[in-house]
Structure 1
């Protein structure tokens, strides 16, 4: 049995499943391979830079997001690496890899963006932000749902042992199953997009720029997903270009993650902490009304013309611009109309013995 002649650009002895990596007649494989490799190198450089810059981040709330952003970069690294599974010919090895990792990696990236957006919503409204562990737990928790879905699908489809089932399926059936497997990821994308839009409504504008990075990233990601899903359901196009469509979507979305989210975030990472991004020296508290006459060690007051001051106590509540003035003095007066409760001063009475000289009257 003679071995097939390798195409132009490929060496003898190379398996036919790898021909797209070097075939000059199908240059899309070489182009996507080069973009994916460059993306892997760039992502690894960002991960290393993130570890170096940890100690230089002055803002504590930016530092809290660093573990989640590192997890996000791991997902981006996996997306670029998964591109090779779509360039290489579909078989028993690449089939399960495609169906299992595609949704998991994107779910991880979108979950990290969603957790970051939820934290930004609290910051733009001047509320107490999420903790480092809470942000990381939200990102991992949202992504685990897709992991469970992918595992169940592989177990049911492969029947535990039949790994060739993906290459044996018709192109239309395989593409339908592939998109159906990603329904949760699509929901996650829409949820992240809507959540990031709420970051534009807060009072502390310094955090809105971070929200804009997530918003634009999700906008272009949704556009890419709509495009490749639409092309995948066109039978004449999908039967010949399905691998090209999916591998191109991976590379394009990976670079969107890097250029629109990671690069701007790194640019803002080491910026000096801006006091205008926080309410009153990062204290997420406002005055709470107390009954007059109660004693406490910390008071604030607010003055209203023509009324009497009432002392109020500091209490950690949701900020309200109508009741809370950032960067004012520590003591404020809150007033109300009331009667005069001032205590009169004591007066000295004249003593009956003031004119006594020790003599009887008339003597």
Structure 2
């Protein structure tokens, strides 16, 4: 992350014989001698810069005792700019979790350490220090979705924590970030397609047994909600399409879907596409292309639909359809509603918060099992004549 970080014992802007001796003692794992030498060096200097360097040296070697001594007794202050020799950055680089915590706890006053925290987080993600990542996010408020930037610099993708973790092969860190506020973006999906697919398939799909008609197969519940996915790749689902019984893609950034969703998912029972940017679903030319005949529930609320997909008219087992908070001006495109036999078992229909002006009897009178209907906050001018269904008005 940025310019190369000096390793313990490497070159330094401040050098004295005692500094060399401190490095040597630490490298030889002689912590007692290193501490004595470091305290002696601290007594000999009045320079805040040199004391700061002593703090960096002890932080680099994970010497918590000396770090505490310098912070509390010698009042060495931790700077908040994320330079390479900042003691907290050094500690994060080498994965010294307790030292990182001690250093950050020493910060006080009105200064905001957010830029420092974000830099440390991206660095720890790149270096593979999961415990440091957890500490920064859960205890100190580092933002998994923020870029690491220094003063007067522009954000670059390599300093995004999730990108850094995935590109470095740190899958455990990537998973933690995704579960604590990080999201996929197009750069990550394009630059790391295979690791992204592996994360989605390995950690966000739950398995259970399929009916005996599918021996050796497991039912899959795909839970890809709240990941801000900009798209869904057909390759992510194609080889498991016959096993998916639940698909949750809610709260993403999807403007469109691959053709297999939902029409090609033969065992799909529940579909949640709410809170996306969908203006339509994939088009089908005939009912022969619709094999998702087991669908029971669909939630397509909070999208940009102007009418319901005509393919819904062929879902003979559908019981619940939620399409509230769209831009529905018509229920279905009537010219496309031919030879349909579906929705006879529809029990719940939510069309609230749309722009409907009518509910065509052509469709409504076919909903023979309807027991719940919500058409509030529309612009209805009339209501269909009563028909034979359990609906209570």
Structure-1-length-normalised TM-score: 0.20
More helix by share: 1
Question: Which of these two proteins has the greater Rg computed from alpha carbons?
Answer: 1
Kindly indicate whether structure 1 or structure 2 has the higher relative contact order, using CA contacts under 8 Å at least 6 residues apart.
1
